[in-house]
């Protein structure tokens, strides 16, 4: 992937390790990707593959016992590039980016909002730290934000507490908080996992509108391939701390060249094929993060394993915007071309 | 909100009736009666039974139990607290003389333990695992496990006798009546009385704060780019506060019980000290009134706690 002018955030060879009881989990083991302005990057993968750690690394919201060991996170802001990984976690510079330039919404809107403060307070808090608006302006801005998120009666709802909101409305309120300072990047960590399917569609539609109207770059973490097909411009497939395949959504979903991507796509039940359709679950389990295979992390579960897989495969560009980590990619490419 | 308060006050009435009945019943079941206390033991043995019976009748002790209870409680409800058997002083006068001292001591101890306990607990939680946290934990365990009267004696020895910073006991000196004159007298008893509760509040505030800090909304608050103090205090501490306030409400009886001992140790002229001597001399009317008063104090305190909880936690909806 060439570095263009439209890149909002680039991550290079990021290594984030988490330490517990003197053991080290190499949660991210050399991850590289770019988020393009006004585009949606979907990061997919199983639980524990490092999706959320990636998001936390960018926001510098990692748990205390974890550290960015190596690599670069560069935010391409209006004032030139900023190396996020070099900033102090809770320093003023990081805080100025967090929330204002890069905002985040979380998985469970039921617990992500503070129950003892009104929704309005929690929106205005953001405006207070990142804008110069006065008290009254902040209040009317909060109402406007709720209205644009499709919350009915925002003038009244603004003073209500989270427990009076439904799940979908809470996630809208959460997005209102995240979008309040017009961030250049919005990171959404499985924003609809805790919501009903009908509400999911509404939330995604809302995010898509925001992307188109404000040019916000979105990094969407999900494990739902349907969502990827619907929303993504770019996809990165993660497995055990590596991006095993990345590229534009059309190429990755239609012509996947990594066996893991293929296995993921094969494991989705298809509507209309009836209840007798064969769903190919991926055999085996993800390896113990503290006791990883030395070579390709997916080798143990891979149907195409060869002896070369005992070594970690390099990241290989199969097209100028399509990248894979697999020794046998040429065979899969030939296969995909048929 | 107002209807809620009114309703809560109304539910106090049956509770007070039940509890006052239990108090009356309890004292009825203890051996001896008022007459046996009023007459000196040597005279009691030589008095003839008819004379004693006559005395009992004249005091109304011959009436059935329930009737006597009714006479007592209706009197109390009309503001007639009865007379102390020792000296025949009206109990309302004893209350007027002694209650302010006890309230002063208890409220001071309550304030100290609430403020100090939550601050130390929060510091402990924020510096979890550090030396500060560990030493506070040890101090907390000591505070909970060592009895108050021991602290009282040690404090008197150090601060009053050796260093001569504070007076040994009492509430005031003759001729000095303003609050500021009395303050040095209050410091030691209030501090000692608050130790156990401070330690309890501290331990509880620590775990409550740790719980609050591990919640998702803390991460949300951080993701807004706010400074750490605001995340910890406005989002963490505020949420951690609710269970702490409930705990303080539940601990109030301990405070009242503790003040009985502390008032003895520091010669504090409060109701607690009066209570001990009343129990010792079987001064039933006074014992009953003090017991009833403690119950009322706890009930009112729990009402206040409920209201405070509703104010700081919007999820607790009151009344309507």
Q: Is residue B30 part of a domain?
A: yes
Sign of the Cα torsion A153, A158, A164, A166 reads positive
CB A167 within 8 A of CB A110: yes
Interfacial B residues in 24-43 facing A (CB < 8 Å): none
pLDDT tens for A179-199 read: 899 899 999 998 888 788 888
Cα–Cα dist A265/A253, whole Å:
8
Q: Does residue B11 share a domain with residue B113?
A: no
Boundary of a domain, candidates A147, A182, A217: A182
Q: In what order do the strands lie in the sheet with A234-239?
A: A102-105, A185-189, A217-222, A40-44, A234-239, A242-248, A322-324, A316-319
Q: Which pLDDT score, from 0 to 100, does residue B176 have?
A: 67
Token pair for B131:
């030396």
Cβ–Cβ of B220/A118 closer than 8 Å? Answer: no
Give the helix/strand (H/E) hosting B72: helix B65-77
DSSP 3-state assignment of A317? strand
Whether residue B181 lies within 8 A of chain A, CB to CB, comes out as no
> What mean pLDDT do residues B99-124 have?
89
Q: Which pLDDT score, from 0 to 100, does residue B317 have?
A: 64
Q: Is residue A94 part of a domain?
A: no
Chain A contacts of B228, Cβ < 8 Å?
90
Closest Cβ opposite residue A125 in set B224, B312, B314? B224
Sign of the Cα torsion B158, B163, B164, B165 reads negative
Q: Which pLDDT score, from 0 to 100, does residue B318 have?
A: 55
Q: Is residue A145 part of a domain?
A: yes
Q: How many CB atoms lie within 10 A of CB B264?
A: 17
Cβ–Cβ of A111/B219 closer than 8 Å? Answer: no
Q: Does residue B105 share a domain with residue B55?
A: no
Q: Does residue B118 share a domain with residue B180?
A: yes
Res. A86: pLDDT tops 60: yes
> What mean pLDDT do residues A89-98 have?
89
Reported as a pLDDT band with limits 50, 70 and 90, residue A140 is: very high
Q: Does residue B20 share a domain with residue B116?
A: no
CB A246 within 8 A of CB A315: no
Contacts of B120 (CB under 8 A, 6+ apart): B136, B198, B202, B205
B79 exposure class (CB count in 10 Å sphere: 0-12, 13-18, 19+) = exposed
CB A183 within 8 A of CB B224: no
Res. B180: pLDDT tops 90: no
Q: Does residue B232 share a domain with residue B149?
A: yes
CB A165 within 8 A of CB A175: no
Contacts of B149 (CB under 8 A, 6+ apart): B261, B262, B264, B265
Q: Does residue B188 share a domain with residue B65?
A: no
Cα–Cα dist A333/A172, whole Å:
41
Closest Cβ opposite residue A113 in set B220, B238, B312? B220
The shortest C-alpha distance from A103 to chain B (Å) reads 7
Q: Which pLDDT score, from 0 to 100, does residue A142 have?
A: 94
Cβ–Cβ of A115/B314 closer than 8 Å? Answer: yes
Chain B contacts of A113, Cβ < 8 Å?
217, 220
Q: Is residue B83 part of a domain?
A: no
Q: What percent of chain B has pLDDT over 70?
A: 94
Q: Does residue B45 share a domain with residue B147?
A: no
Token pair for A108:
């469970």
User: Nearest residue on chain A to B239, judged by CA atoms?
Assistant: A116
> What mean pLDDT do residues B249-259 have?
74
Q: Does residue B246 share a domain with residue B149?
A: yes
Cβ–Cβ of A99/B224 closer than 8 Å? Answer: yes
Chain B contacts of A103, Cβ < 8 Å?
223
Res. B194: pLDDT tops 80: yes
Closest Cβ opposite residue B225 in set A99, A111, A118? A99
Res. B313: pLDDT tops 90: no
pLDDT tens for B37-59 read: 667 767 777 777 777 778 777 77
Chain B contacts of A104, Cβ < 8 Å?
223
Specify the higher pLDDT residue, A278 or B320.
Answer: A278
Cβ–Cβ of A113/B217 closer than 8 Å? Answer: yes
Q: Is residue B65 part of a domain?
A: yes
Cβ–Cβ of A99/B226 closer than 8 Å? Answer: yes
pLDDT tens for B127-153 read: 988 899 999 999 988 888 888 888 888
Cα–Cα dist A117/A125, whole Å:
10
Token pair for A165:
């909101």
Res. A120: pLDDT tops 90: yes
Res. B225: pLDDT tops 80: yes
Reported as a pLDDT band with limits 50, 70 and 90, residue B293 is: confident
Boundary of a domain, candidates B77, B109, B127: B77
Res. B320: pLDDT tops 70: no
> For residue A188, which of A22, A33, A29, A35 has the smallest C-alpha distance?
A35
Q: Which domain holds residue A140?
A: 112-182
Contacts of A234 (CB under 8 A, 6+ apart): A33, A34, A36, A39, A40, A41, A42, A246, A247, A248, A249
Q: Is residue A296 part of a domain?
A: yes
Bridge partners for A75 per DSSP: A9, A82
Q: Does residue B258 share a domain with residue B307?
A: yes
pLDDT tens for B62-92 read: 788 888 888 888 888 888 888 887 777 888 8
Sign of the Cα torsion A299, A300, A304, A307 reads positive
Q: Does residue B47 share a domain with residue B157?
A: no
CB B132 within 8 A of CB B244: no
Q: Which domain holds residue B72?
A: 2-77
Q: For chain B, what is the domain count? A: 2
Q: Which pLDDT score, from 0 to 100, does residue A153 have?
A: 92
Q: How many CB atoms lie within 10 A of CB B65?
A: 10
> What mean pLDDT do residues B243-267 have?
80
Q: How many CB atoms lie within 10 A of CB B137?
A: 14
Q: Which pLDDT score, from 0 to 100, does residue A338 have?
A: 66
Tokens 């989270």 sit on residue? A162
Res. B186: pLDDT tops 70: yes
Cβ–Cβ of B313/A116 closer than 8 Å? Answer: yes
Counting every residue, how long is chain A?
338
Reported as a pLDDT band with limits 50, 70 and 90, residue A14 is: very high
Q: Which pLDDT score, from 0 to 100, does residue A287 have?
A: 85
> For residue A244, which of A191, A320, A316 has the smallest C-alpha distance?
A316
Output the average pLDDT for chain B: 83
Cβ–Cβ of B222/A98 closer than 8 Å? Answer: yes
Chain B contacts of A126, Cβ < 8 Å?
224
Tokens 């109390």 sit on residue? B76
Boundary of a domain, candidates B77, B112, B140: B77
CATH number at residue B141: 1.10.3720.10
Whether residue B239 lies within 8 A of chain A, CB to CB, comes out as yes
DSSP 3-state assignment of A189? strand
Cα–Cα dist A215/B96, whole Å:
74
Give the helix/strand (H/E) hosting A248: strand A242-248
DSSP 3-state assignment of B123? helix
> For residue A304, which of A275, A272, A261, A270 has the smallest C-alpha distance?
A261
Q: Is residue B93 part of a domain?
A: no
Whether residue B238 lies within 8 A of chain A, CB to CB, comes out as yes
User: Nearest residue on chain A to B235, judged by CA atoms?
Assistant: A114
pLDDT tens for A233-283 read: 999 999 998 999 999 999 899 889 999 998 888 888 877 777 777 778 888
Q: Does residue B297 share a domain with residue B183?
A: yes
Output the average pLDDT for chain A: 88
> What mean pLDDT do residues A17-34 have?
88
DSSP 3-state assignment of A4? coil
Q: At what angle do helices B271-280 and B91-126 cross, to 10 degrees?
A: 120
The shortest C-alpha distance from B319 to chain A (Å) reads 17
| CA atoms lying within 13 Å on the CB side of residue B119 | 6
Token pair for B189:
């008893």
Cα–Cα dist B302/B250, whole Å:
7
Q: How many CB atoms lie within 10 A of CB A149?
A: 20
Q: Is residue B211 part of a domain?
A: yes
Res. A103: pLDDT tops 80: yes
Boundary of a domain, candidates B43, B77, B111: B77
Q: For chain A, what is the domain count? A: 2
Q: Does residue B269 share a domain with residue B174?
A: yes
Q: Which pLDDT score, from 0 to 100, does residue B175 have?
A: 67
Cα–Cα dist A129/A48, whole Å:
33
Cα–Cα dist A69/A212, whole Å:
35
Cα–Cα dist A335/A19, whole Å:
41
């Amino acid at each position: 992937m060439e570095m263009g002018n439209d890149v909002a955030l680039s991550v290079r060879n990021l290594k984030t390790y988490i330490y517990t009881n003197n053991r080290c989990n190499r949660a991210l083991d050399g991850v590289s990707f770019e988020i393009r302005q006004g585009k949606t990057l979907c990061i997919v993968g199983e639980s524990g593959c490092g999706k959320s750690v990636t998001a936390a690394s960018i926001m510098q919201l990692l748990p205390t016992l974890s550290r960015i060991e190596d690599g670069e996170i560069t935010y391409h802001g209006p004032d030139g590039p900023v190396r996020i990984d070099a900033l102090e976690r809770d320093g003023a510079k990081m805080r100025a980016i967090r929330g204002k330039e890069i905002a985040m919404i979380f998985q469970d809107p039921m617990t992500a909002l503070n129950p003892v403060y009104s929704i309005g307070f929690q929106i205005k808090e953001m405006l207070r730290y990142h804008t110069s608006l006065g008290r009254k302006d902040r209040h009317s801005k909060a109402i406007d934000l709720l209205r644009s998120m499709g919350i009915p009666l925002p003038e009244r709802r603004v003073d209500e507490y989270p427990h009076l909101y439904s799940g979908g409305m809470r996630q809208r309120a959460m997005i209102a908080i995240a979008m309040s300072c017009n961030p250049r990047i919005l990171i959404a960590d499985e924003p609809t996992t805790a919501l009903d399917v009908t509400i999911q569609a509404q939330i995604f539609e809302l995010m898509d509108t925001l992307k188109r109207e404000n040019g916000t770059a979105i990094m969407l973490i999900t494990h739902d391939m349907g969502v990827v097909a619907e929303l993504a411009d770019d996809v990165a497939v993660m497995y055990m701390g590596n991006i095993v395949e990345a590229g534009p959504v059309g190429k990755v979903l239609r012509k996947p060249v990594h066996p893991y991507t293929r296995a993921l796509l094969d494991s989705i039940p298809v509507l209309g094929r009836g209840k007798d359709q064969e769903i190919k679950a991926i055999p085996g389990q993800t390896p113990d993060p503290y006791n990883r295979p030395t070579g390709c992390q997916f080798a143990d579960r891979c149907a195409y394993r060869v002896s070369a897989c005992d070594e970690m495969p390099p990241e290989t560009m199969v097209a100028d915007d399509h990248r894979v980590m697999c020794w046998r990619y040429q065979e899969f490419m030939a296969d995909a071309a048929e | 909100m107002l209807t809620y308060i009114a309703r809560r006050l109304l539910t106090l009435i049956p509770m007070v009736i039940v509890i006052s009945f239990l108090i009356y019943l309890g004292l009825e079941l203890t051996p001896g009666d008022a007459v046996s206390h009023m007459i000196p033991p040597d005279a009691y043995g030589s008095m003839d039974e008819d004379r004693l019976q006559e005395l009992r009748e004249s005091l109304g002790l011959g009436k059935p139990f329930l009737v006597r209870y009714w006479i007592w409680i209706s009197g109390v409800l009309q503001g007639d607290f009865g007379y102390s058997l020792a000296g025949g002083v009206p109990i309302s006068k004893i209350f007027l003389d002694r209650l302010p001292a006890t309230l002063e001591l208890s409220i001071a101890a309550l304030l100290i333990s609430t403020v100090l306990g939550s601050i130390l607990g929060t510091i402990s939680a924020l510096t979890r695992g550090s030396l500060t946290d560990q030493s506070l934990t040890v101090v907390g365990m000591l505070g909970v496990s060592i009895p108050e009267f021991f602290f009282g004696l040690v404090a008197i020895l150090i601060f009053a006798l050796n260093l001569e910073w504070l007076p040994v006991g009492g509430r005031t000196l003759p001729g000095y009546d303003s609050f500021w004159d009395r303050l040095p007298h209050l410091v030691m008893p209030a501090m000692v009385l608050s130790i156990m509760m401070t330690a309890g509040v501290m331990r509880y505030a620590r775990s409550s704060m740790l719980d609050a800090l591990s919640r998702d909304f803390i991460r949300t608050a951080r993701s807004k780019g706010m400074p750490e103090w605001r995340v910890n205090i406005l989002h963490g501490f505020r949420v951690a506060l609710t269970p702490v306030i409930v705990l303080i409400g539940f601990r109030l009886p301990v405070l009242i019980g503790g003040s009985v001992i502390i008032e003895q140790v520091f010669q504090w002229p409060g109701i607690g000290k009066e209570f001990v001597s009343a129990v010792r001399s079987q001064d039933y009317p006074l014992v009953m009134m003090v017991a009833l008063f403690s119950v009322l104090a706890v009930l009112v305190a729990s009402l206040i706690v409920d209201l405070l909880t509703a104010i700081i936690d919007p999820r607790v909806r009151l009344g309507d």
